[in-house]
Structure 1
Amino acid sequence: MKKLLFISILGLLSCNRNTQQAHPPVGGVLSQNDLDISKQRMKNLNGVERIHIQHWIDNQSVKYYPMALNYWVNIDGFNQREKRKDNTFISYSYDLYDFDQTKIYDSPIQRREARFGHFDELKAVEDALRHIKDGEEVTLLVPSSLAYGTYGDEKKIDNDVPLIIKLKAL
């Protein structure tokens, strides 16, 4: 069935060859127009997601507070705390949820002795880790642009999915 669908789509695409826009391969060079279109798409998507997240917040009993990086936390004054410096170590774990509050992975994502400035993490998680106290738990509401963006995680998280992240400093 998949082969039949693939062949059908391939046939349709080849019939319409003259009107198709050519896309460079991954890592290829995009024109300024393509970059502007992509930037505008992300700006529009971010606006829609912010409205969706704000509506979700309005229906919760817990208060959430905006952070400068474009995500929300459930701790007042979180963004006013002193930040951890580069080259300091932290151990942490987090669970990922969608906005239906369905847990995405059965087990949490964990890192031991990660060093700031030398680990690759979701931008919102890294920013929150700089403010979190040892042993503290915080919930992050993260638009897709700060989560897995337009590609997803290539496992269970699709593209353009905002996330709820329950983060704990160990």
Structure 2
Amino acid sequence: MKKLLALFLIIGLASCKSPEARYPVSQKSGSYIDESVARNKKLVAQEEQYIKNLMAEDSTTSYQASADGFWYYYNTKVADSITNDHPEFGDIVDFEYSISSIDGQTIYAEGEKPRRTYAMDQEKLFSGLRQGLKLMKEGETVTFLFPSHKAFGYYGDKEKIGTNMPIITKVTLYNIEKQTNNELDNQ
């Protein structure tokens, strides 16, 4: 009986011990993420330098740098005195575009992609084109030079555009249908 009582006493005292934290068997240092970031920074720098070299070789075209990390020039520019309207959030734009590789090889010819109606910032569209449309006015044609991270990035378009491929996109903006606040609230 004393042995049984001593056993219960030992078990009772042992169970009062506070739980100890369990440590992982192995720890990851995050080196894979650091390597990936370094690799991507190097890729972006190479693509941007290549695009800058292309622009430097073309002295006949007046390129502009966007605040969003791509370059562009106007094929057809609408004078500010005619309109100052640029598409904004929720506006419906009607546009058409073609895509070629940064070397000038046609990927999607003019007319190959159907004319598109797009609700600004409310539908899926690659980031460079979405940002580029905001720089345009109705009736303008603009050619954009996008590094791969502003185009289709790592995944490409799963059809003709490959991994990490910088592209040239020629866009014609036909119409901007301005949306009022009431129309946006009803959607």
Structure 2 unaligned runs (5+)?
A: 1-28, 175-187
* Paired residues of 1:93 and 1:108 also in contact (CA < 8 A): no
**TM-score if structure 2 supplies the norm length?**
0.66
Partner residue, 2:134: 130
Of residues 113-122 and 160-169 in structure 1, the stretch that sits farther from structure 2 once superposed is 113-122
For 2:92, which of 86, 89, 94 is the aligned residue?
89
Residue 69 of structure 1 deviates from its aligned partner by: 0.8
**Partner letter of residue 72 of structure 2?**
V
- For residues 79-158 of structure 1, the aligned pairs below 5 Å read 83-106=86-109, 107-158=111-162
User: What SS does structure 1 have at the residue aligned with 2:53?
Assistant: helix
The alpha-carbon deviation at position 65 of structure 1 amounts to 1.1
Q: Kindly state the Cα deviation for residue 118 of structure 1 after the two structures are TM-superposed.
A: 1.1
Q: Give the drift of 1:38.
A: 2.1
Q: Is 1:169 aligned to residue 173 of structure 2?
A: yes
CA distance in 2, matches of 1:117, 1:111: 18
2:87, 2:137 within 8 Å by CA — same for their partners in 1?
Answer: no
Q: Does 1:48 align with 2:46?
A: yes
Taking structure 1 as the reference length, what is the TM-score of the superposition? 0.72
Q: Percent identity?
A: 26
Aligned residues: 137
C-alpha distance in 2, partners of 1:86/1:62? 30
* Secondary structure of the corresponding residue to residue 109 of structure 1: coil
* CA drift at 1:113: 3.0
Where structure 1 has 5 or more consecutive residues not aligned to the other structure, the ranges are 1-30
How many angstroms apart in 2 are the aligned matches of 1:34 and 1:83?
A: 42
- Cα RMSD (Å) of the superposition? 2.3
Alignment correspondent of 1:21: none
**CA 1:86–1:131 in structure 2 vs 1: closer, same or farther (change >3 Å)?**
same
